[in-house]
Structure 1
């Protein structure tokens, strides 16, 4: 049997490379003679830099930056091994949800300032292109922190600069964005954002309401964010002369997509958002498992999804070519317990799933047990 293993990461605990190794181990426990090809997938979130650096023979650069809660952290970006000279920045490495302690998760105050610092470091290397992976963020500041790190001034009606890296809630008082101090080198590079372009900044389906609660926002904080990002959109639209609130991709990474638009970024629209550990009714909307299934269906290949949990209306995934799905959890547990045991759970789930596949093939007479 030949098996293609192509996972995204399990948000906050297992990157895509580790997930591929765990699934491979589980399959081989059940079927030692299986031929396995591992293709870890990167969607712009955790593991994005490593995936592209590994694929091109590039290098990782490490440096300290400001983390999402304002503390110094060790971060990184990549320089790809092909031409033109390209840097790749992973938002999760500077403003990721996994960098925000569970008891500090409040997207009203987390910042993308560190993302701007990564971009500045890449500019120092005279790159011609910067690819920004938008995924797994723990922020909802619209990219305001990133803009401040790059030299922009965000000011209130009195001309006072908003607190540097103050978080999304400070945008409630935003009156203008001054780009005169923006790093001039940004005009000489092409910036591409890899994101889920279906995410928008404002409205009922904007990032505050859809993703704010996932990042720790209470109902009150969600409304504060919605108001703040509405103000941000209004000022941004006046600044660049075009609508951004509902622009495709403007809501990526808590609205950082809007910040990238303001500095001339463009979107790579064929990269999709990850499943974030769960499979549910949102998965068919451009997320990695559905994209894999769509392609596999064209070649008549069955697809099985292993997920952290099974969410609402997950059966919608049958319509996009996913033949079966299963949770890796074995018993009721807390999130912390599940994260701690994630590698074991994924390995054992892959083994169990493959044994079920073997039973099915035995029943229709198309498989000979070669495990002994």
Structure 2
């Protein structure tokens, strides 16, 4: 019997990889001869590099750079066997727990990493922009890549100092932007619906989630509206047109507008890397699920797509979730069985506790459907 296991992360406590492993243990306890195939899932926030490397071999390259607070750190990018450069902005633009002022954050470090990655001879770049801690609309990244910003007196404005300096910009000079980006096929992973500015911008939609004050959020949003007007008037570039352009606090819009990057979902990339449709068609049983918070405002999650494909091929499938907010969508796709992992606040659980709970519930669900198989 062939069993496909495809678990997404569980509330940033249990990774997709480890969730898959706990489910695999449960399956082996009930079907010790099963041929188990694991599909690591991701949604553009985290684990992108490690998930890609489970399907394609590649080489990691370490880069020294600055984080969102302009503190030195080191991160990696990857070049896969199929010559795809993978960059994970969320792991690059992290923020210290002690630093809570979003107006001081910068995306400069991402530009530093991209500069190093451009030295690789690859035609395609895959960049995830979820979970970044910067709020400068991507201007810091542009500065690292060669852009210059000038104030009313013609003096350079250093955006690496943070988003609060945006209001001093009067001129945007893109002439020295690294030309190598023009020759890259860039795909940006974003599963979030947010605009570059306005009430549906990332900072306005997530101010409570990210513990940002209303005053700071309004200040950032006004600054990004202002800078979008400068881009429009000086370069005929529209940053506000993309529905997902606000992802990464505007990084998605910049990649799309300046380098014609394609905005894709994590599900799109999973399909491309793993041939998910084909794997489900070949499976006798599919166990999938997730523990993503409802307030993360994802456009979609791969688990729903898996349910749709299972319905397409009439496969027996079990959904294991941390919450029940996906159940209605699963019902629409005729999922065989659905189980909620937790009856208490899962955010207090350790990764081991969560994994054991996941394994126990999967074991019980398999025992219930065993006769059908």
- Normalising by structure 1, report the TM-score: 0.82
Counterpart CA distance in 2 for 1:220 and 1:305 is 41
Partner secondary structure for residue 131 of structure 1: strand
Q: What is the CA deviation profile of residues 38-57 of structure 1, one whole-angstrom value per residue up to 9, with x for unaligned ones? A: 11023333221233334232
Distance 1:272 1:366, change over 3 A: closer
1:347 is the counterpart of 2:356: yes
Bigger relative CO (Cα 8 Å, ≥ 6 apart): 2
CA contact (8 A) 1:170 1:228 kept: no
Distance 1:125 1:152, change over 3 A: same
CA contact (8 A) 1:9 1:46 kept: no
Displacement of 1:121 in angstroms is 0.5
Q: Which moved more, 1:6-15 or 1:319-328?
A: 319-328
Displacement of 1:220 in angstroms is 1.9
Partner secondary structure for residue 242 of structure 2: coil
In structure 2, the residue matched to 1:70 is 70
Q: What is the CA deviation profile of residues 5-42 of structure 1, one whole-angstrom value per residue up to 9, with x for unaligned ones? A: 21233454443222322332344346545543211023
In structure 2, the residue matched to 1:87 is 85
Q: Which moved more, 1:298-307 or 1:288-297?
A: 298-307
CA contact (8 A) 2:150 2:157 kept: yes
Displacement of 1:304 in angstroms is 4.4
Q: Which moved more, 1:319-328 or 1:151-160?
A: 319-328
Counterparts of 1:182-197 in structure 2, within 5 Å, are 182-196=177-191
CA contact (8 A) 1:172 1:229 kept: no
In structure 2, the residue matched to 1:42 is 42
Task: Tell me how large the CA RMSD over aligned residues is.
Answer: 3.1
Displacement of 1:80 in angstroms is 1.5
CA contact (8 A) 1:9 1:16 kept: yes
Counterpart CA distance in 2 for 1:284 and 1:295 is 20
Q: What is the CA deviation profile of residues 118-171 of structure 1, one whole-angstrom value per residue up to 9, with x for unaligned ones? A: 110111223323221222222222111111111111333333333332333432
Counterparts of 1:11-50 in structure 2, within 5 Å, are 12-29=12-29, 32-50=32-50
Q: What is the CA deviation profile of residues 101-132 of structure 1, one whole-angstrom value per residue up to 9, with x for unaligned ones? A: 44434433322212111110111223323221
Q: What is the CA deviation profile of residues 309-331 of structure 1, one whole-angstrom value per residue up to 9, with x for unaligned ones? A: 55xx5554346538465554464
Structure 1 alignment gaps of length 5 or more: 368-372
- Which of 114, 119, 124 is equivalent to 1:119? 114
- Normalising by structure 2, report the TM-score: 0.81
Structure 2 alignment gaps of length 5 or more: 271-288
Partner secondary structure for residue 286 of structure 1: coil
Partner secondary structure for residue 121 of structure 1: helix
- Which of 220, 229, 252 is equivalent to 2:224? 229
CA contact (8 A) 1:306 1:327 kept: yes
Distance 1:255 1:108, change over 3 A: same
Displacement of 1:253 in angstroms is 1.3
In structure 2, the residue matched to 1:214 is 209
Distance 1:13 1:92, change over 3 A: farther
CA contact (8 A) 1:3 1:37 kept: yes
Counterpart CA distance in 2 for 1:64 and 1:34 is 44
Distance 1:276 1:66, change over 3 A: farther
Partner secondary structure for residue 372 of structure 2: coil
In structure 1, the residue matched to 2:9 is 9
Counterpart CA distance in 2 for 1:309 and 1:225 is 33
CA contact (8 A) 2:151 2:170 kept: yes
Partner secondary structure for residue 86 of structure 2: strand
In structure 2, the residue matched to 1:180 is 175
- Which of 321, 324, 344 is equivalent to 2:333? 321
Counterpart CA distance in 1 for 2:86 and 2:29 is 36
CA contact (8 A) 1:174 1:231 kept: no
Q: Which moved more, 1:18-27 or 1:221-230?
A: 18-27
CA contact (8 A) 1:199 1:251 kept: yes
Q: What is the CA deviation profile of residues 223-274 of structure 1, one whole-angstrom value per residue up to 9, with x for unaligned ones? A: 1222122112222223441432131331121211122134314114354599
